[in-house]
């Protein structure tokens, strides 16, 4: 997966939501970068992924469903999934929603 520019500004906020879920400290968050792998480096468990998905949905909107996204990946893509990939997914799903309605 490639890192696009749309999600670049979301890497740290997305990682901070995961930090809250896994109960890590600020040093942990500082060590997480765009290329940090969700499975291989952070060892995120399935229940943590589900909680992260819910946190992302609450924070970024109903179009975000990380669990569903990951379920559609093949095993190599899951292994290689990075924080930047998740940020890019969030950015893309938010963009698909379009701008907010005016006056509605």
Which domain CATH number covers 28? 1.10.1200
Task: Identify which has the larger pLDDT, 4 or 22.
Answer: 22
Angle value at C-alpha 38, between 36 and 39, nearest 5 degrees = 120
Q: Is residue 103 part of a domain?
A: no
Q: Is residue 24 part of a domain?
A: yes
**Alpha carbon distance 12, 14 (integer Å):** 5
Q: What pLDDT score was predicted for residue 95?
A: 87
Domain count, the chain: 1
Give 3-12 pLDDT, tens digit per residue: 456 788 999 9
**Alpha carbon distance 99, 24 (integer Å):** 34
Q: Is residue 60 part of a domain?
A: yes
**Alpha carbon distance 37, 10 (integer Å):** 16
pTM: 0.87
- For 13, the enclosing helix (H) or strand (E) is helix 11-22
- How many CB atoms sit inside 10 A of residue 56's CB? 25
**Alpha carbon distance 45, 64 (integer Å):** 19
């Amino acid at each position: 997966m490639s890192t696009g520019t749309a999600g670049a500004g979301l890497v740290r906020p997305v990682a901070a939501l995961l930090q809250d879920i896994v109960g890590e400290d600020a040093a942990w968050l500082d060590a997480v970068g765009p290329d940090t792998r969700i499975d291989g480096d952070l060892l995120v468990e399935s229940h943590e992924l589900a909680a992260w998905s819910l946190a992302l949905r609450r924070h970024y909107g109903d179009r975000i469903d990380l669990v569903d996204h990951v379920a559609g990946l093949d095993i190599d893509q899951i292994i290689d999934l990075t924080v930047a990939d998740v940020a890019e997914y969030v950015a893309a799903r938010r963009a698909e929603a379009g701008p907010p309605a005016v006056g509605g």
